[in-house]
Amino acid sequence: MENRASNLEHALPPEKAAAKAAIIAECERLAEVGITFVAVHFDGSGDEGVNEDIKCYATEDYAYEESEVPNANSSYLQEHFETLVPYGYEDGCGGFGDVILNVQTRKITVERNDRFEDYTTSAYEV
């Protein structure tokens, strides 16, 4: 099931808006060196989480850990990307996902996957 908040429903707090602006401002420079996507992967559970180092890609479509551009240094954007990682992804069973910049469209997407525990109950007479 996909749950997408509209842009009108999801106004960014000032620190996230500033991070977004700083990232978008780098699109032209990134495009000049052939980078099509920039992303940070996050993963956590049990109240602990980790943000991986920022990675650059030169592909038509973004796919985590595929076609990474070697020697692309965009570490100066790490803090801005981490600001956009969703709060609480590491709580309980945790979650994982990516903060992805599409350099060509200048759009940033946050893909968050939440883990949860589930169970089924069956009762019957014998």
In the chain, where are the structural domains located?
A: 14-113
Please state whether the predicted TM-score (pTM) of the whole model is above 0.85.
no
| Comparison of pLDDT for 101 and 62, the residue scoring more | 101
Question: Mind listing the pLDDT tens digit for each residue in 4-25?
Answer: 554 544 689 999 999 999 999 9
What pLDDT score was predicted for residue 2?
A: 54
Q: Is the pLDDT of residue 58 over 70?
A: yes
Q: What is the pLDDT of residue 65?
A: 73
Q: How far is CA 5 from CA 2, 35, 37, 110, in A?
A: 10, 28, 22, 11
pLDDT bin (cut points 50, 70, 90) of residue 47 is confident
Average pLDDT of the residues in 66-79: 85
Of 8, 6, 17, which Cα lies nearest the Cα of 84? 17
Among candidate residues 101, 108, 109, the one with its CA nearest the CA of residue 30: 101
CA distance 78 to 50: 13
Average pLDDT over residues 70-77: 86
Question: Tokens 């692309």 appear where?
Answer: 72
